[in-house]
């Protein structure tokens, strides 16, 4: 089956997570992604760690199915290489330092004069203008600026997300905006500029706590792994030292929870717990009762009771548990991809069955430099000279 983005070429001057995550998803849909990396060192995410058979966990996650071309974009002779690349490209993605793309002549305004069908996607921390334009932006810093830390963690201490959530948010909006821009170009014949800000992507995801604190109202309190305003909704220990996550959504579930799970049906009428607001206000007293009931159960027994009552629940899994998750295995979500370190497991991207997602190799640094340059019409002596000069 044809993949929806077959025939689309993406050139990306990318590093870290936001842009590589966006372009990897375009590659999943069949786009050709040519990743421009610095000679000798490449995308600095290659060196974040060496946990995957010597390769970086961040890099292998966001860079499969791409072609790696090493090119010093500041070199005097790099301009014709970029020009030929962009002449055949549909999309340019970049998340260089603020102002770098403009200095290289890669702004949308500059490129649109010659490449009117080109879609230019700029990803930055704070956007193309405003007082924060030139401010450095890393994932944790943007989590902080967006207010995420103010509502995440315990009452005593804020906590960051355990994954690069601001980068992921920006990557997802870059991905979806590029898809929309390709549809729009099909109607108008013209490209456009996309200005993706990590801050704006993250603040969009903060919609609930923002509106909850509307016009100076108290924001949701930090409640650890529990829900800030619904109770019981969070983790509870069981007698075998494990933890079970459960969540109630309405009063009907509260009655069933008392009867089937806690086996204390009279508790449903206790005025301290008769409504969600009352339960949330008296959560410490209710927590003690739930922990007492769960103390005589192991995690699987507690989950069995919750399942019997049709109360939402989950295991509190570790990363090792997720690798062997029975639902992922049953649905065949794991495949293997090639890499410089050999075959590695990779999760199929979420989606339907209309086509097979592309699951090609994770590239070695500069693996495709010679082949791509030759395809662009540069000769072997030119390529050899550029390599000797350190341009590639």
* Cis status of the peptide bond prior to 58, with omega within 30 of 0: no
Q: How many CB atoms lie within 10 A of CB 307?
A: 13
CA 220 to chain centre: 24
Spatial separation of the C-alpha atoms in residues 194 and 305, rounded to whole Å = 50
Q: Is 227 a catalytic residue?
A: yes
Ramachandran class of 34: left when φ > 0, alpha when ψ lies in -120 to 50, beta otherwise: beta
How far apart are the C-alpha atoms of 72 and 36, rounded to whole Å?
9
Distance of alpha carbon 392 from alpha carbon 383, whole angstroms: 8
Q: Which helix (H) or strand (E) holds 307?
A: helix 299-308
Name the DSSP class of 217.
P
β-pair type (312-315, 243-247): antiparallel
How far CA 275 is from CA of 250, 260, 289, in Å, comes to: 9, 18, 16
Of the candidates 43, 36, 197, 45, the one whose C-alpha atom is nearest the C-alpha of residue 106 is 36
Could you identify the residue written with the tokens 């456009």? 192
Measure the CA–CA gap between 108 and 121, rounded to whole angstroms. 9
**Does residue 4 contact residue 29 with C-beta atoms inside 8 Å?**
yes
CB-based contacts of 24, cutoff 8 Å, min separation 6: 33, 62, 63, 64, 65, 66
Q: Which of 75, 110, 227, 368 is catalytic?
A: 227
Report which of 156, 18, 34 is spatially closest to residue 91, judged by C-alpha positions.
Answer: 34
In 78-143, the DSSP E strands lie at: 91-94, 119-124
| Active site members | 227
């Amino acid at each position: 089956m044809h993949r929806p983005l077959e025939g689309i070429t993406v050139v990306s001057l990318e590093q870290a997570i936001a842009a590589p995550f966006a372009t990897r998803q375009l590659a999943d849909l069949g786009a050709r992604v040519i990743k421009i990396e610095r000679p000798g060192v490449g995308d600095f995410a290659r060196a974040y760690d060496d946990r995957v058979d010597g390769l970086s966990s961040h890099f292998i996650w966001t860079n499969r199915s791409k072609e790696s071309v090493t090119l010093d974009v500041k070199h005097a002779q790099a301009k014709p290489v970029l020009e030929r690349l962009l002449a055949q490209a549909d999309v340019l993605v970049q998340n260089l330092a603020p102002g770098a793309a403009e200095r290289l002549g890669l702004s949308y305004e500059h490129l649109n004069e010659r490449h009117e069908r080109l879609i230019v996607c700029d990803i930055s921390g704070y956007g193309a203008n405003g007082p924060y334009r030139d401010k450095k932006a890393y994932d944790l810093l943007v989590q902080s600026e967006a207010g995420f830390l103010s509502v995440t963690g315990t009452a005593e201490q804020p906590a960051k997300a355990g994954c690069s959530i601001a980068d992921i948010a920006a990557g997802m909006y870059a991905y979806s905006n590029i898809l929309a821009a390709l549809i729009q170009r099909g109607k108008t014949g013209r490209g456009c500029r996309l200005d993706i800000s990590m801050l704006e992507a993250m603040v969009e995801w903060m919609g609930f706590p923002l509106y909850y604190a509307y016009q100076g109202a108290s924001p949701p309190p930090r409640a650890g792994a529990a829900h800030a305003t619904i109770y019981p909704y969070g983790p509870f220990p069981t007698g075998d030292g494990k933890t079970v996550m459960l969540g109630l959504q309405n009063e009907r579930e509260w009655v069933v929870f008392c009867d089937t799970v806690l086996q204390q049906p009279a508790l449903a009428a206790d005025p301290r717990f008769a409504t969600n607001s009352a339960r949330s206000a008296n959560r410490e007293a209710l927590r003690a009762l739930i922990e007492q009931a769960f103390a005589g159960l192991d995690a699987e027994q507690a989950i069995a009771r919750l399942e019997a009552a049709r109360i939402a629940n989950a295991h509190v899994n570790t990363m090792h548990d997720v690798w062997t998750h029975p639902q992922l295995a049953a649905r065949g979500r794991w495949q293997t991809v090639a890499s410089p370190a050999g075959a590695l497991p990779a999760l199929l991207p979420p989606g339907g069955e209309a086509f097979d997602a592309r699951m090609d190799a994770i590239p070695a640094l500069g693996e495709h430099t010679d082949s791509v340059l030759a395809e662009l019409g540069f000769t072997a002596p030119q390529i050899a000279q550029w390599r000797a000069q350190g341009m590639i």
